[in-house]
Chain A
Amino acid sequence: MSLTPELLQPSVLLDRLATALKSRMAEQGIEEPLLVGIYTGGYWVAEALRKRMQVNWPLGGLDTSFYRDDFSEKGLNPGVKSSNLPLATKDRHLILVDDVLMSGRTIRAAMNELFDYGRPASITLVTLLDLQRRELPIQPDLCGQAIDLATGQRIKLSGPDPLEFNLINLKEEGQA
């Protein structure tokens, strides 16, 4: 199902990202980075990328609930998952993966959390989509596709098999 005329399918974007990421790591001489997917969508994307790249890089998941900046307004996310990193992050090259990048606030929270696990050698940010509505100075290193949506529209990834984009109209759902 095509949601907006220009939006590509997740599988196409994943192919694109897998190729770009593999060559980027090779160029930088990074042999075994730690993939860190942000729960839930980012973790699915990280898993899918690892499969497409046919690599055995370690994979971890991050729940940023305890690091979000909207705790005062929205309170605690009831479905908090445990962050689970298989290795120490200290001096390791990390690839931080999320499904949809918008304001940049989730990435800010994720980076703060990662630093509490230790000082990484580097962090590369990979996202499937970029909705280009940044509120913080954060940019992806690799992005599947950048698109513009109408005001009040969002895209949510469902998955993990198959990975699909769903268009959400905030006003219709009464959660603007």
Chain B
Amino acid sequence: MSYPANPRDIQLTAEGQLKHFLSISGLPKSLLTEILDTAESFANMGEQSVKKVPLLRGKTLVNLFFENSTRTRATFELAAKRLSADVLNLDIKTSSTAKGETLMDTLQNMEAMHADLFVVRHADSGAAHFIASQVTPQVAIINAGDGRHAHPTQAMLDMFTIRRHKGDFAGLKVAIVGDILHSRVARSQIRALTTLGVEEVRLVAPNTLLPAGVEDLGVQLYTRMEEGIRDVDVVIMLRLQKERMSGALLPSESEYYRLYGLTNDKLAYAHPDAIVMHPGPINRGVEIESAVADGPRSVILQQVGYGIAIRMAVMSMAVSGQMQERSQIS
């Protein structure tokens, strides 16, 4: 499966509006800011006694999950329901060899049901691009995580969290710590952080967990945690993805924790106002100490709540882009 040459072509309408949300790559700063601003107004909806807006009334969203997920699927479902859309959840187990056929068959069935929006999670990189480019015109595709490639809504909710707690992106130093190699979240975060113009993005990991060529993304690499998080404003911890590991990438979990686990002792190297983030689910005692995860500088639970607002923003913007494009064609 190959990616289209220029993802911008496929994610944006001719007017530059979002119509699919597949990856951060190719999206301009102004659009990322628009997503954050739109999410901001959804985030404030909590004061309404009816926590719902009629924006996607009569639209149908299909959650196509080819890979397990708890919170991502739940927040997409809740976000869609708060936009008054109808939601269908499909868990599809598939082997990678049968993938092409299964995917096509499933999609044709969904198309026949007149779905307006597919939220796709798949173990293969490029699955969401593939669907958006070849299968379903006029249906908005949102990537909810594809292999090691991208998880753009998670990255945007992280950006939302940073903006809420730190105000502006300019001048910020952000460290992403841990299993960068297996992390689609990290790839999307790096793109989003550099596009939004933070001062410095640092990756902190053992050499075995850093993907080849990652320095080309405009980041600083550190193998020692104490140096890597020194004076940073934001520490983003990543989950150690044991289920994706093959071969001897790590000596042991306890060794990893000793070197890269975020403890209060290590956090002392960061800026005194630094916030601690984690996309979840957290492995306590593997990449983060409970005292930090539950501590005053942790914003991990706020991140989950912001995820709903970000997903509402992305879904309504993508459906809006699709409808605009459709009305221009007809």
Chain A, 111-126, CB within 8 A of any chain B CB? 112-113, 115-118
Chain B, 47-68, CB within 8 A of any chain A CB? 47-50, 52-55
Beta-carbon contact of A116 and B48 below 8 Å: yes
Per the CB 8 Å criterion, the residue count for chain A at the interface is 26
B324 adjacent to chain A (CB < 8 Å): yes
Q: Is the interface of B mostly helix, strand, loop or mixed?
A: helix
Beta-carbon contact of B38 and A117 below 8 Å: no
B86 adjacent to chain A (CB < 8 Å): no
Contact mask for chain A residues 77-88; partner B; CB cutoff 8 A; 1 contact, 0 none: 011111111001
Identify which of A78, A85, A117 gathers the most chain B CB atoms within 10 Å of its CB: A78
A140 to B34, CA, bound (A): 34
A52 adjacent to chain B (CB < 8 Å): no
On chain A, the residues within 8 Å of B12 by CB distance are none
What's the nearest-Cβ distance from chain B to residue A68, in Å? 9
Beta-carbon contact of A84 and B327 below 8 Å: no
Per the CB 8 Å criterion, the residue count for chain B at the interface is 22
Chain B, 278-330, CB within 8 A of any chain A CB? 316-317, 320-321, 323-324, 327
Beta-carbon contact of A82 and B50 below 8 Å: no
A5 adjacent to chain B (CB < 8 Å): no
Given A67-B54, A83-B44, verify A117-B320 contact (CB < 8 Å).
no
A99 adjacent to chain B (CB < 8 Å): no
A174 adjacent to chain B (CB < 8 Å): no
B17 adjacent to chain A (CB < 8 Å): yes
A81 to B49, CA, bound (A): 19
Residue of B nearest to A118 (CB): B49
A75 adjacent to chain B (CB < 8 Å): yes
B41 adjacent to chain A (CB < 8 Å): yes
A71 adjacent to chain B (CB < 8 Å): yes
A104 to B38, CA, bound (A): 25
Contact mask for chain A residues 41-83; partner B; CB cutoff 8 A; 1 contact, 0 none: 0000000000000000000000101110001111110111111
What's the nearest-Cβ distance from chain A to residue B160, in Å? 14
Beta-carbon contact of A116 and B34 below 8 Å: no
What's the nearest-Cβ distance from chain A to residue B314, in Å? 11
A17 to B261, CA, bound (A): 65
Beta-carbon contact of B37 and A67 below 8 Å: no
Q: How many A-B residue pairs have CB under 8 A?
A: 54
A22 adjacent to chain B (CB < 8 Å): no
Beta-carbon contact of B52 and A80 below 8 Å: no
B40 adjacent to chain A (CB < 8 Å): yes
Contact mask for chain A residues 125-148; partner B; CB cutoff 8 A; 1 contact, 0 none: 000000000000000000000000
On chain A, the residues within 8 Å of B316 by CB distance are 76
On chain B, the residues within 8 Å of A79 by CB distance are 37
On chain B, the residues within 8 Å of A73 by CB distance are 323, 327
Residue of A nearest to B317 (CB): A76
Chain A, 81-108, CB within 8 A of any chain B CB? 81-85, 88, 90
Contacts from B to A (Cβ < 8 Å): 17, 34, 37-38, 40-41, 44, 47-50, 52-55, 316-317, 320-321, 323-324, 327
Extra pairs beyond A76-B55, A82-B41, A83-B44 (17, CB < 8 Å): A63-B41, A66-B55, A67-B53, A71-B320, A75-B324, A78-B34, A80-B38, A80-B41, A81-B41, A82-B44, A88-B49, A90-B49, A113-B53, A116-B48, A116-B49, A116-B50, A117-B48
Contacts from A to B (Cβ < 8 Å): 63, 65-67, 71-76, 78-85, 88, 90, 112-113, 115-118
24 sampled A-B residue pairs with Cβ under 8 A: A66-B41, A66-B53, A71-B320, A71-B323, A72-B323, A72-B327, A75-B320, A75-B321, A75-B323, A76-B55, A79-B37, A80-B37, A80-B41, A81-B41, A82-B40, A82-B41, A83-B44, A90-B49, A112-B54, A115-B50, A116-B48, A116-B50, A117-B49, A118-B49
